[in-house]
Amino acid sequence: MEALVEKSLLACERRKIATLVVGGGVAANSYLRSRMEEEARLKNVDVFFPDFALSLDNAAMIAGLGYQLYKRGKRSNYYLGPELS
C-alpha cells in the first residue's frame, strides 16, 4: 500500500495535480484511505474516495457470476473465454 500512496502522490506532484480520486476495489481498503489522506494533506493534494458501498471490486463481481453459473451446472475447462453460452 505504501508504494501506491507514494507513487500516486509523486505523480500528482510531477504533473502539478491538486486533486486525486481513488476508485475501484482498492478504495475500500481503510488502511489505504487513512495513509493516502494523511500523506495527501502533507502535500496539499485533495483526495477523494467513494463511499465504501460504491468501492466496487471487479473480482467480486466475476466471482458472483461464476457462482451463479456454477449453481446452474455450468462447468468449463481451462480454456474458458469471455463468452457466456
**85 pLDDT above the threshold of 60:** no
**pTM of the predicted model as reported, rounded to 2 decimal places:** 0.65
C-alpha span between 85 and 71 (Å, rounded): 15
37-72 pLDDT tens trace: 999 999 999 999 999 888 877 777 788 888 999 999
Task: Tell which wins on pLDDT, 30 or 79.
Answer: 30
Residue where the block lists cell 504533473? 15
Domain positions in the chain are 2-71
